[in-house]
Chain A
Amino acid sequence: MTQIASAASGDTMTIREAALRGEPLIDTFIVNNHSHLGMYYGFAQPNPDADTLVQTMDRVGIDQSCVFSSLAITADMRTGNDLSLEAASQHPDRILAYAVPDPNLERQVRDEMQRCIDAGVRGIKFHTSLHDYPFGGPGYVPAFELADKHRLPLISHGVDSPDVLRRTARSYPNAHFIVAHAGAGRRHPEFDATYTVAIEEPNVYLDTAGSVAPYGIFAQLVKHTGAGKILYGDDFPWMCPTHQIGRILLAPITDDQKKQILGGTMQRLLSTRQ
């Protein structure tokens, strides 16, 4: 079992032991690939700002969070993207801004994505259900092209179908496709075609953010797809990082697998940006 050091005392312990004690995981590089920012009309989300996100990250030992404002996935793409960029500028190296396209504003998407890339975003986020638009629709094509050109992560809430996901991943092989929420685990992963696509396509990954966690299912998923296909995400502030990370920290998998999921793989995906 890998030994890590606790922040407070320097004592060595496993990831499991640190989690049970509430010790920050200072020797494990952790990247949260799925966070929002700001208030949301649908329900009350306590302390949804970047400053308190960073405080929570510090308590757990999360090094970086990829953020996309809730405003950008709802009513105002451009202002929302600016909120994400502003948060990243206030917390360099801790908050990584992503750009969100609103595909309903089809004629604006390319310029907006390019503007955000020029401003330093590290990835792209789709929310196909809130934007009520298909993953395979033409409004998203400029975002796919730019993600491919700049070799960026692209996380999507909704991918239409496993076949559309596979076709798109093959069309844009330099983009890193992340299926939001799919890595939280579903019953009988062996029958789920989305997981088959993730296993077979080298640029498809699964995000762990999800409120529901049936017993033992996450470990089954890790065994089925391999830890290298799963990326930690917490969906802050829709859900709390302190809860979400527990799915991984206390799972009956090895510490090396946990480290891959917590940030090892995501560091590599973020490093390819051109």
Chain B
Amino acid sequence: MERLLLVICPSLTFVTGGSSSSSDGEDGGHRLRQFARIVDVLTEVCPWIDPVRPGVCALPIRGPSRYLGGEGAVLDRVTDLVTATLDPVDPTLDPADPVDPTLRAGGPVQLGVADGLFAAGLAARSGIVVAEGGTPAFLSPWPVATLGTPVLSELLPRLGLHTLGQFAAVPARDVLARFGTAGLRYHRLAQGAEGEHPGHRAVGLGAHLAALQQGPELRNRQSGFWGETSTADVRAAGVLTSLQRRFGLDAVVTAVVRDGREPGERVRFLPWRPDRPGDGGRDRPGDGGRGGPRPTAAPWPGRLPPPEPARVAIRGREAAIEIVGPSGSVVRVTARGELTSEPVRVSFAGGSWVGITGWSTPWPAEERWWSRARRRAARMQITTADGRAHLVTAERGRWWLAATYD
């Protein structure tokens, strides 16, 4: 029998009540969407997440524990993942799905490990990791009512059988004679010889969750590259949505180009959104690379001439660098925009010195954000002896590395 880790999210459990429509009710649907997210997130630990009931899922623990280095590590990882997913990382992620903090009273997740779904369920109720081979002994003291069948729950105690252990000790042929084959299955369950509780799975839950995981934003999409949503778009959007669910909206971004002078000013990275491709709001540069940089209407004096650098420091996070002249003294830019001496060597972020093989005339860069701060800057391209090329900025009395032509 398979050793299972059972995960219960108490805030997300609810009784389906026999009709599938009740799970579409506002509260049930909301919880089920959260649960779908959790199942999705847990596939990081193990690809075979088995949704058992709303709010309850199981996974085989042997594989992941070898991979992560022990069952304890798996439990920690699962706890972290579930807790992080239940937390409202960003309320804008799904405005229709606010997380009610009162739902999470009593701990967001309960875990248990044992052989088979039934025992693992009991273990999770009390947060127990049953030792290998210890499942029959673990089951023994539980009341027969845990079998979940009203008939046996009522009859067995009358026969003086109050615990699963007492029921398990009854010879199988007597159980068969008195309760038939159905009773025999419960008997094997009580013995720990069978793992699963008949009829205690929510039918069709897996398919329902799979549909929810696609997300309404994908199912409702209509526009795409050629006016329709291609399979590739849906596939890509699924993966990116999943990454954002797990790591936050800012983890997956796309670049947006607009007018401006500095590379750092002209580009913004915004969180990826599923409706962005093909929105028609921006022209496409996808002309096979023949068109070069996107043409812009307004001339921007002082803009960097092409080609553009492949690496651009985020504005405000440029690394400080040193540039010295022949005498070893620091090179500066005068008020008239001239260098105080020939630049000879450069040191990046306190690293070793590299010879400068070429440099441009410094040109002034009066940027909006700089002028707001009443500062002026000068920029200069340099090539170094190791074959690299950089864009450096003189600002606030020193040199900064603005971009590298990697």
The finding on whether chains A and B are genuine partners in a shared complex, rather than unrelated, reads: no
Tell me the B residues contacting A by CB distance below 8 Å.
none
Tell me the A residues contacting B by CB distance below 8 Å.
none
